[in-house]
Amino acid sequence: MDYKKKYEEWLNADYFDTATKKELSGIADNEKEIEDRFYKDLYFGTAGLRGIIGAGTNRMNKYTVCKATKGLANYILKKGVKNPSVVIAHDSRHFSREFSEQAAALLCAHDIDVYIFPNLRSTPELSFAVRQTKSTAGIVVTASHNPPEYNGFKVYWDYGAQVSSPIAEELMSEINSISDMSVLRLYMEKDLKEFTNLHILGEEMDKKYIDSVLSLSVNPQSIKDAKDIKIVYTPLHGAGNIPVRRALKEAGFEKVNVVPAQELPDGSFPTVKYPNPEEADSFLLALDLAKKIDADLIIATDPDCDRLGVMVKLGKGEYIRLTGNQVGIILTHYIFDSLKNNGNLKENSLFVDTIVTGKMAEKIAKSIGVNTATTLTGFKHIASVIKDREAKGQHFVFAFEESYGYLAGGFVRDKDGVSASLLICEAAAFYKSKNMSIYDGLLSLYDKYGYYKEDLFSIVLKGKEGAETILRMMDCLRKNPPKSLAGLSITEFRDYLVYESPDGVPKDNVLYVTFEDNSWFAIRPSGTEPKIKIYLAVKGNSRDEADEKMDVFRASVKDLIEGITAS
């Protein structure tokens, strides 16, 4: 069915509600908008569903949410799972609660037990609850760090991680097989109160989760030794406010200051352009507060509290924002070095990173005697590696990816902004007790291991034309890789669609180019946003040399990519 016929169906069929039809009537004269809303079904990809809120098959709305949930229910029942159950959580975004309750009603109506929280919870607690309740699956309604017009629907499986191959493909097929939208209306009219197989999760689960987070502390004495450390925290209007503050308070941090204007949940995210701790603008209000109180550290979590951003005081009124790789480097060293020094580093300890993560953390882990496993970016891939390696007797300790995601311990199987907040604050306290900042600690690591520098830039390409351009760019570079760049010869060109990784890295649409001086860049379409992402890394003998090398390298890679875009 072409997009115009789909539009007409949604506009006229009696199983679509009046509000939906009114919204669609309002775009009757906007052919491009109609096409964008209906040229495809919202794709169930890297992080489940994610899209702009609105009416249409390519939008997040109660129909696309119920279709995805119906597909999940069908899939679980076809699997023949005994006593199936699903945990549901959501963040502060617009319609998150409504979508969660609609999903809960549909699952309950299929005789699947549902555990749901009474209000918003973080994504890592959802992962934790799936494992604690021994549920078949989990759902979290969130669009993570996307702009306020977005929402999403992520599915987790019984080991607490987002669904991955082959489950993801099987589930996608089940969802795509649902073509009769009229069936979904039956479930939208259900009242949750009528179901006896609906269970409310609350303080008991919260306490178990926070206690598990606190168990990750590797050097609690450092918090006592630096009681005067001042921390500014912003949850960016999201789900992190209560769990992050609770974890820090119970760990012993006494001077945690929350940004008042960003403390309470608000799906409009009125104080930021994007509720993303990767963006410098997200820290503006927190930075103002930090300067007023002379804080040592600023931390920020995204709306579903799975990502963490960090700023560190350099001097009076001067702060620097750390990259995801830099925070990962600090935590890798702090965790493993502390465990080794206090005699708690187990044999076969495991560190996990990704193919687009900087190489310095792996070098640190190796120097401490820790095994490293590398996989595709995305925590569903990291979780899969953890599961496989633990089955082989390895002991997982820590993982991170450059996009501000960190995971410690074995009780969650996704990135965790709550535990990462605790650990980075503890590391800051450790260094403060030595009259150092964590940035001073980072510089000492560069001095010891080498001056690694990473960068990232993206090209945003929206809509149907943008998606086609992204595919064309990847195809063009795949067929015509450069032979040299910035005066450097290429030593390896990996196409992960065909590359046979000795570490068992799955196939994916990623291109990875290595040069004679071991600098590299990688390019991949984003799995969650309409953009193509380009990762770069160099190494120098000093900070200045690394900066200079990156400036030249970045400019050369940008010219290459922009030339492909324009062709």
Q: CA-CA distances (angstroms) from residue 83 to 105, 107, 116, 134?
A: 17, 13, 17, 10
Please say if the pLDDT value at position 227 is more than 80: yes
Question: Minimum mean pLDDT among 136-140, 222-226, 316-320: which range?
Answer: 316-320
| Catalytic one of 144, 338, 519, 556 | 144
Please say if the pLDDT value at position 46 is more than 70: no
Please say if the pLDDT value at position 162 is more than 70: yes
Distance from C-alpha of 466 to C-alpha of 470, rounded to nearest angstrom: 6
Whether this model's pTM surpasses 0.85? yes
What DSSP string runs through 124-159? HHHHHHHHHTT-SEEEEE--TTS-TTEEEEEEEETT
> What per-residue confidence (pLDDT) applies to 280?
94
pLDDT in tens, 482-509: 889 989 999 999 999 999 888 888 999 9
> What per-residue confidence (pLDDT) applies to 451?
96
State the chain's mean pLDDT as an integer: 94
Q: Which domains does the chain have, with CATH numbers?
A: 1-36 (no CATH), 40-205 (3.40.120.10), 226-321 (3.40.120.10), 325-415 (3.40.120.10), 451-566 (3.30.310.50)
Mean pLDDT across 529-554: 93
Catalytic (active site) residue 177:
no
Per-residue confidence at 47, pLDDT binned at 50, 70, 90?
low
* Inter-helix orientation angle 417-432/203-214, to 10°: 40
pLDDT in tens, 123-159: 999 999 999 999 999 999 999 989 999 999 999 999 9
Distance from C-alpha of 171 to C-alpha of 43, rounded to nearest angstrom: 12
Please say if the pLDDT value at position 464 is more than 80: no
